Amino acid sequence: MKKLILFLLSVPIVLGVAAYFFMKKTAEAVPVSVNVVTNSQIDKTENTIVSLRNIGQWEFLTIDVEELVDTAIAKTFGADRISCIYKGTCRLGIDMADESLCISTSGDTAFVKLPQAKLLDEHFLQDAKTQVFFQDGDFAPVVMESLKRRAQQRMKARALTDKNLRQTEANARSQIAALLKASGFTTTIFE
């Protein structure tokens, strides 16, 4: 009985010692080296480009505009006259989802080709702020719509000057460079 107990106690000890020497011998025979190499620049670049495209329309310059438009319709005895003041807010910016947006990187430098700055919303006129300044007579909806279109064309022409478009593009370059710098790109070059 003592021999059986001694045998049962010695078996796990012998197996443990054998396993230890086996593992030690195996580890010495095959050197194992694990290195994990990551390239976060690729992921960062792809994520940055996707994030910029997801912004959609990015406004960089806001211009409040007013336009006085009038008309007179001659009648047999006199004329009907109307003068209206139209107000609107022109938002100039860049459509970041535009296919011409191109971003490439090399190390910590980003190369960016931006789409042209433009009026982001053609429906900038605020009908609720339209004021009839002077009215003498009745006017058909067609005449009122014509006045509105004339005001909108003049307001758009005043907002889309070369100076305003250049300012919009300068603001865009500044903001995008700051965003890319925050994403880890130390240098941004605009093409």
Instruction: Determine the distance from the C-alpha atom of residue 170 to the mean position of all C-alpha atoms in its chain, rounded to a whole number.
Output: 16
Tokens 């009122």 label which residue? 144
Angle, alpha carbons 69-74-79 (nearest 5°): 75
Residue-wise pLDDT for 138-155, tens only, equals: 878 888 888 899 999 999
Structure tokens at 4: 């059986």
Average pLDDT (119-133) is 88
DSSP 102-160: EEEEETTEEEEEPPPPEES-S--B-GGG-EEEEEES---HHHHHHHHHHHHHHHHHHHS
Q: What is the DSSP letter of 99?
A: T
By residue count, the chain amounts to 191
Residue-wise pLDDT for 72-118, tens only, equals: 787 777 788 888 999 999 999 999 888 888 888 888 898 999 999 99
Residue-wise pLDDT for 19-30, tens only, equals: 676 666 665 555
Helix pair 162-182, 40-54: axis angle to 10 deg? 140
Structure tokens at 41: 């620049």
| pLDDT recorded at residue 105 | 86
Q: Give the predicted TM-score (pTM) of the model.
A: 0.68
